[in-house]
Amino acid sequence: MTDLKRQLDNKKDFQQYLYSRGYLVTTKCLENINEYPFYGNWTVNEFDDLYIYSHKAQNVVFYRGKTGSYFLIGHAYNPFTMEHKEDAILKELDYAVEKGNEFEKINELSGQFLIGKNNNKELRFFGDASCILTAYYGEWNNEFYVSSHSQLLGDICGLEQTEYIKKLVNYKYYRLFGKMLPGDLSPYSEFKHTIPNFIYTYSKASKKTAYKRFWPLKKINQNLNQSDEEYKKNIEKVSELLSNSLLLITKKWAKPAISLTGGCDSKTTLACANGLYEKFSYYSYISSEAEKVDAEAAEKICGQLGLVHRTDIIPTEESAYKDLDLWRKLFEQNCGNIGKNNENDIKKRIYYINHCDFDVEVKSWVSETARAYYLKRFDNYRFPKKPTPRYLSAMYKVFLGNRSLLKETDSVFSEFLKKYYSDDVFTKINWVDLIFWEYRVSSWNSLVISNEQSVSYDIIIPYNNRKLLEMLLSASVSCRVNDSCHKDIQKKMNEKIYESGISVTNLKHTNLRAKAEKAYLRLRTI
């Protein structure tokens, strides 16, 4: 019996937060969901030969169509057709499959979700545009599993973390650049996590899982200039899609709130809410000194627009939080026991569990996929035409004084590149952009949002749409580095925000840090 289980068995009010908003799709019928780790807070639906378990706060929808039996876990909407109900989304998808344009329809969807299609031969499944709703999949003891939480699989199957994972998470510089694992790894050798832009097929006869890339299948033109007519059309279309998304969010949730900073992504979201401002509430939070600048900037912007803005002060003293040590263990468990969570983030989650007057947070994450993140982070470093395992290792973590761990990580990324990236795919899109999207965003953002932040409330991300991201990525590198796309969207949607002159950059990403990281990358990849 683990220490966490022992404590949770005696703390019924905490049990609902273990694997909150989680799900489990499996061929195995579990005996008792009233005990650890479910504690009676999950429901089970038998769907043909599958068992779909879901936390009481998670949304699950089923649809039986002409081409198969579908399920959708999470939330989805279509800003192209303006459909916001999940059963109708599945109906649209079923029709698209019948007509032979399945992937075209998939690419239109926004949200955080896992969609599956089941029949007696196979289970096909895929995630949202960035796999923000986490999905770990694999077979163990002749049964197949897909779950939002890797540690839930460890609990059910009685698994041990691999020796490599144990060494990695105990490495002294592991926490730098985000708590995530390299490649497609989970803490267990039996399970992997899904990669965006792939569809997965589990064969019930062979009991093997295959995966197939469905984006990009054609070259993404990344050489447009600001004067190009196509660029202008893309800005207009992205603006329309973001505006549509925000309208659909107000239809899906009764009390949506937009979390604001003074950053580029946040201001663009706020600009696209123009015409809907009365339907949202607006807030920022301060849990550390670095967040104070963001909150103050957000308040000034809202003030100029005549919007009511609230700043939540997250108490920093430990005495303000009951059972803080238990909370620490719970969040570490939810995130797969791959390192400690930031203390101020834990306090934020506890605060909003107890002080939340909205039912969904509109976040501006994923937007950085189109903003040339790695070029900014590494101070316009000249990357090679194709990635090597060592480049991915050096961009992943700082390895100092532990060369054997670096080489093991190289091996992980070598396998990752072989599995998912042909030379052909990098002729269609710059690998630096694709790796950021399919690795960093899906590994780090998904873990933080699905396994940590969503414990407090539901979250939705308007930027998490494949077609929208493709339009933004088609702009020139210089345009994306300078954030011209986002600024042009702001100018089009709300000129007051564009002209406000209020801007906050990430205090962690200083010029000195960028130069240091660039020097490290150059040293490690010689």
The whole-angstrom separation of Cα 180 and Cα 176 is 10
Expressed in angstroms, the distance from the first to the final Cα of the chain is 48
pTM for the full predicted model: 0.97
Tokens of 206: 């062979």
The whole-angstrom separation of Cα 434 and Cα 432 is 6
By the 8 A CB rule, do 376 and 506 touch?
no
**Per-residue pLDDT averaged across 162-182, rounded?**
95
* CATH 3.40.50.620 residue spans of the chain: 229-370+445-509
| pLDDT tens-digit map of 474-520 | 999 999 999 999 999 999 999 999 999 898 876 555 678 888 889 99
Tell me which of 135-144, 373-382, 490-499 is least confident: 373-382
Judged by DSSP in three states, 24 sits in strand
By the 8 A CB rule, do 62 and 45 touch?
yes
% of the chain at pLDDT higher than 70? 98
The whole-angstrom separation of Cα 485 and Cα 490 is 9
By the 8 A CB rule, do 5 and 14 touch?
no
- Is the confidence at residue 456, as pLDDT, over 80? yes
Assign a CATH topology to domain 229-370+445-509: Rossmann fold (3.40.50)
Of 31, 132, 204, 202, residue with least CA distance to 44? 31
User: Strand pairing of 198-203 and 122-127?
Assistant: antiparallel
* CATH 3.60.20.10 residue spans of the chain: 3-213
Residue type, 9: D
In order, the DSSP letters of 440-483 are IIIIIIHHHHHHTGGGTSEEE-TT-BHHHHHHHHTB-HHHHHTT
Assign a CATH topology to domain 3-213: Glutamine Phosphoribosylpyrophosphate, subunit 1, domain 1 (3.60.20)
| Residue in the block written with tokens 């696209």 | 272
| pLDDT tens-digit map of 2-52 | 899 999 999 999 999 999 999 999 999 998 999 999 999 999 999 999 999
By the 8 A CB rule, do 169 and 339 touch?
yes
| Residue in the block written with tokens 């396994």 | 451
The whole-angstrom separation of Cα 281 and Cα 258 is 6
CA angle at residue 226 from 221 to 230, to 5 degrees?
50
Of 14, 6, 4, 22, residue with least CA distance to 353? 14
Residue 151 DSSP one-character state? H
By the 8 A CB rule, do 230 and 448 touch?
no
Rg of the chain on CA atoms, in Å = 22
Judged by DSSP in three states, 96 sits in helix
pLDDT of residue 509: 58
